[in-house]
Chain A
Amino acid sequence: MRASCTALLLAAWLGFLGPVQAAPGAPRAPVTLSQGLVPVDPAVVERSVAALLSTWNTPGFAAMLAPDFPGRERLLSALAGAPLTARLELAGLGGIQTLEQVREAGALISLVSATARVVLLYDDAGGPQRREGTVELILRVRREAPRR
């Protein structure tokens, strides 16, 4: 349980966020983000969070983390000690906000924060266990531009 909680806390603390490439402290360029930013559809965020949580403690979870995800090895090592049946489920999602957005060749990359109410389910010697909690997630959502 401690390992799985550690993984959960690590996930919350680190956020599902790749490293910012800009030099530390560098404020964003003075572009008019307030007008050009396109908020990510909350339904897309909900599907993404549900997909992310459904892979937690499964072999597919590593693929959800970017290769340069900060603390990736630590998180995966902690998760390797989680009970086999431990699962994270999404109970509710709110506070969805598109924090930042950049345009790259052929894609729109958005940083989105969301607050998820999650349920941790696992089995131990005492039988089935349920723990509820709230985590703030930061997702990187990549939307490919339609190909012509």
Chain B
Amino acid sequence: MKSSLTKGLLALQVLGLALPAPSLAQWRVKGSNTLRVESYAVQGDTAASPYGEEGVFAFNDLNLTVSGNTEAGNSLRFDFAGTVTDSPYRSARNGFVPEVMRLVYDRANGGAPFRVDLGDQNVALSPLTLEKTLKAARFTFWPELGGDRRSFAVNVFAGTDGKDWLGLDLGEGFYRGLGVNVRDDVLGTLGVNLVGYSSKINGLRMEQTVASVYGRRGFDVGGQNLALSGELAFLRGNTRHGGETVSDQGGYVQLEGASQTRPLKYRLRYDRYGRDFAPRGGRVIADSEGFLAEGSWRFESGAQLRGSVTRLTEQRSGANPVDTDTANVAVTTPLSKDNPARGSLRAEVQVQHREDELGLVDSDSVSLRGGVRIRHSNGHSTRVDAAIARFDDNNVPGLERETRQISASHTLDFELAGLDVTVTPGVAVSESRSYGNTLTVGPTLALAARRDNHQLSMQIGQTGFDGVDPASDYEQSRLSLKYELSRGRHHIGFDVDRRLREPAEGEESDAWRAGVYWRYDFDKTLG
């Protein structure tokens, strides 16, 4: 299967060569090449370090875009991103690893417009059928039918959701399908999607076919701009490898609105998906039912108030469905109506209750989140973020957890001896209260300096952790240093990162990473 896939994809890329090529004078080559060598070393307890492997590793990254016009309005582009590496931190593979390959041809002039996409791309038909990045071949065309009042778009594609070009196996997940979309001045937007999926793992097959119809129609009623939309999808196939063939359906209906006279927007949505409605490429929760009501109001000051209420029922058809009710209110506001750059404030409250039919699940949670950004005069700015979350398991008295987090920092920009300097001291405190209390407290300091082609940055952090068991307490410090020198298109730099963890009991862990790199940016028009 792998060899047939490799041949297939190579054939697709070769097919790309059959597309009209731009003349040499119209080629533009843009991108960057980065060579990096880095060393990882851990002294003491290796299990407590962030680095799983020690040693010296290297990689060379190439990001490249080649583009050109074949003629006015018609264009061709090729993207490539890949690496040559022996670093386990950079890639799971050694050697040459192509990561992104995509060829796009657009024809906007000369007959009906169309586009050909070969390689890595985002295929977003609908959340009920397929929304995924695929390695695929796709043909999109816009037939000139229906005159000025109606436009058509057609998508035909085939590809796989495999993430690795070298290990690609169509048998592990192959999608094919089409989407037809019609936009009509009177009827609104209408369309159909048809997606097939097949996969074979360890001899067990999985096949799915998903078909959907959708529509969206806007209308004005009583001073409101309304839009009614929805999608209904049918699935036939397996929900797991080797499973029996089943059929099921799902869909949603949504009403969006906006007042024509007031700064009010709102939305109502209802979703319902059958037990076996689990499209492999979709983004829905099988066997669920959901309701959403939300609204927002924008004040003249620029402040915005948003609120939502949702109910989600999961495992709906089983003996023990679980309901989750959530209410959320959020406000964001600029600190100055006339100067949004002055800063902003946001606050958000969320209340949630979860409960199942048999009483096995019964919990409440409340969370408050907020933050403020203030840009003072004379290069000063302040940032504060805070969150409090409380969770109660009503089935187990005493099983409560409360988490409090706050972080604050102040930034000062100034010039010193020709250097543009930024200094940001800060502090972060986190506390959790459950059976016992845990606390982390840590100051941080970030420094950055820039002059002409030189950039230097440094970060220092210290964290102290007090756990329920004093033996689990530890102190952790971090130092990061980075320097870069730029000369034209060349950028040369080094960086060092050190983590020192000192537990109250046991062995300390001293982890180092140091790297040097050279990046070359290129942007050349040939001819």
Contacts and interface: CB of A to CB of B under 8 A. Distances in A.
Interface of A: 13-14, 20, 23-28, 30-35, 37, 39, 41-43, 58-60, 62-63, 67, 70, 73, 76-77, 80-81, 84-85, 89, 91-92, 94-100, 111, 113, 115, 117, 119, 121, 123, 127-128, 130, 132, 134, 136, 138
Interface in B365-379: 365, 367, 369, 371
CB-based closest 7 A-B pairs: A35-B75, A24-B126, A34-B77, A95-B99, A59-B387, A30-B113, A59-B385
15 contacts: A23-B229, A24-B216, A24-B231, A25-B129, A32-B108, A35-B75, A41-B32, A67-B332, A73-B328, A73-B352, A77-B326, A80-B367, A97-B79, A119-B52, A128-B509
Nearest to B32: A42
B403 A80 contact: yes
B348 A62 contact: yes
Given A59-B405, A97-B120, A32 B106 contact: yes
B25 interface: no
B412 interface: no
Given A92-B90, A136-B163, A60 B440 contact: no
B424 interface: no
A91 B440 contact: no
Interface centre among A20, A34, A70, A94, by most chain B C-beta atoms within 10 angstroms, is: A34
Interface centre among A31, A37, A80, by most chain B C-beta atoms within 10 angstroms, is: A80
B465 A85 contact: yes
Given A80-B391, A92-B87, A115-B99, A58 B77 contact: no
A126 B401 CA distance: 20
Contacts of B45: 128
Contacts of B87: 92
Contacts of B346: 63
A117 B369 contact: no
B332 to A, nearest CB: 8
A33 B50 CA distance: 41
B125 A24 contact: yes
B472 A94 contact: no
A81 B386 CA distance: 16
Contacts of A31: 106, 108
B126 A59 contact: no
Contact of B387 (A30, A62, A91): A62
Contact of B140 (A27, A63, A113, A130): A27
A130 B127 CA distance: 34
Contact of B100 (A76, A80, A96): A96
A113 B133 contact: yes
Contact of B67 (A35, A41, A97, A121): A35
B104 A34 contact: yes
A59 B328 contact: no
Interface string B112-133: 0111000011101111110001
A27 B61 contact: no
Q: What's the dominant secondary structure at chain A's contact region?
A: mixed
A119 B51 CA distance: 9
A27 B179 contact: yes
Given A34-B104, A37-B77, A123-B465, 15 more contacts: A23-B189, A32-B74, A33-B106, A58-B385, A60-B407, A73-B350, A77-B367, A92-B90, A92-B91, A100-B122, A117-B89, A117-B90, A121-B50, A123-B467, A127-B48
B516 interface: no
Interface in B10-35: 30-32, 34
Nearest to A111: B122
Contact of B326 (A73, A94, A111, A123): A73
B81 A59 contact: no
Contacts of A97: 79, 81, 100, 102, 120
B199 interface: no
Nearest to A94: B99
Interface string B427-467: 01011100000101000000000000000000000000101
B499 to A, nearest CB: 10
A84 B403 contact: yes
Contacts of A113: 120, 122, 133
A132 B411 CA distance: 33
A102 to B, nearest CB: 13
Contact of B48 (A27, A32, A128, A138): A128
Contacts of B440: 84-85
A113 B135 CA distance: 13
Given A59-B406, A81-B391, A96 B124 contact: no
Contacts of A28: 140
A128 B332 CA distance: 38
Contacts of A27: 140, 142, 153-155, 179, 181
B330 interface: yes
Nearest to A84: B432
Contacts of B212: 25
A76 B386 CA distance: 14
Contacts of A76: 350, 367, 369
Contacts of B328: 73
Contacts of A100: 122
A108 B164 CA distance: 30
A98 to B, nearest CB: 8
Interface in B383-418: 385-387, 389, 391, 401, 403, 405-407
B214 A25 contact: yes
B249 interface: no
B37 to A, nearest CB: 14
A89 B239 CA distance: 34
B50 A63 contact: no
Interface centre among B121, B128, B133, by most chain A C-beta atoms within 10 angstroms, is: B133
A136 to B, nearest CB: 7
B47 A127 contact: yes
Given A63-B385, A81-B391, A115-B99, A24 B91 contact: no
B310 interface: yes
